[in-house]
Structure 1
Amino acid sequence: MDFINFPAIFAAALTSLLVGFIWYNPKVFGNIWLRESGVTMEDGKKPNMALIFTLVYIYSVFIAFILSGVTIHQAGALGMVGGPMELGHVKPSYNAFMTDYGTTFRSFKHGALHGFMMGLLLILPVVAINSLFEKRSWKYILITGFYWVVTCTIMGGIVCGWTKDGFHFSSQLLP
């Protein structure tokens, strides 16, 4: 079973752009964010937006890659035997474990749960810490931080739920 699903990672990375287009739309949080960040619409036209969107996508690939390791628990079992290069030398118990539990917790819903936790408990505090030192307002912190909570939730769901067999949805968080 492959745990690094690059198509899922590349697709999940698009989430940051898609959520951002909605989240920072003037009809959602865009006007508030502009006011709180001190950025104007004219400022947004000055930089090379193609470069910015490209870099956002590349950095989002990094985030999706890490989220795949956090959301797919079977990757931990693979790491315990020394990684993919050692699969030819594993004990029969590893193969039995993977037969029994190889797809456990592999659903969009489970990945979304872990993505939510990473966004809320890791990325939001990082955004808040940086923003506090930059003397940003709480509105700015909440808008920016919860953008990442929503984005990581969706990213986690995509990287965990998208398997070789197709996309897995589950009616429950735990099997």
Structure 2
Amino acid sequence: MEFTIHFATINLLVVFGATVAALLLGAFWYSPAFLGKPWRKASGIPMTGNQMPNPAGTFVAGFFFQLLAASMLAALLGPTATGLEGLQLGMLLAFSFVMAALGVINLFERRPLVLIFIHSSYHIVSFGLMGFIIGQWS
């Protein structure tokens, strides 16, 4: 099996843009306009107020982790991938690895099954979006 990671050819501007796009998607995904209410209910987060103790630190760390995922996706895609190939690889990685990991964690923590759906579907769509952006514009 031949496997190559293309770190030298990563377009950092595109990776940054893909990261921001995924974070904006997350802002919508977990907003009351979409899945925010069922997510808060299933997570036990109060429906009123912001109970996050350090929102700035949380968002900075979230950005870092999303940037890490986008960077690795770019490295796996390489410099010749298309938008469609990026979309497919991103969704495949999230569906297989992320959803499996979230599923195991949520099951052992005895969390509601709806959390697996909410979190996994976000990651499948966000990884697909990042992959499309990276493949299309790298």
TM-score w.r.t. length of structure 1:
0.70
What do the CA deviations read for 1:129-165 (whole angstroms, capped 9, x no partner)? 11111111111110011111111000111122212xx
Equivalence map 1:68-83=2 (5 Å):
68-72=74-78
CA contact (8 A) 2:45 2:51 kept: no
The question of 1:36 aligning with 2:42 is answered: yes
Q: Which residue of 1 aligns with 2:135?
A: 160
Q: Which runs of 5+ in 1 are unaligned?
A: 75-102, 164-175
Where does residue 77 of structure 1 map in the other structure?
Answer: none
Distance in 2, matches of 1:48 and 1:161, equals 35
Name the larger-Rg structure.
1
Taking every aligned residue pair, what percent have the same amino acid on both sides? Answer: 27
- SS of the residue 1:109 aligns to: helix
Q: Say if 2:22 and 2:129, in contact at 8 Å, map to a contact too.
A: no
Q: How much does 1:42 deviate?
A: 4.5
1:141 paired residue number = 116
Which residue number corresponds to residue 11 of structure 1? Answer: 17
Structure 2 alignment gaps of length 5 or more: 1-5
The superposition leaves residues 1-59 of structure 1 with CA deviations (integer Å, 9 ceiling, x where unpaired) of: 96211111111111331111111111211100001011114563442212111111111
Q: How many residues are aligned here?
A: 132
Structure 2 residue aligned with 1:88? none
Alignment counterpart, residue 150 of structure 1, candidates 94, 115, 125: 125
| Coordinate RMSD, CA, aligned | 1.8
- 8 Å contact kept, 1:71–1:115: no
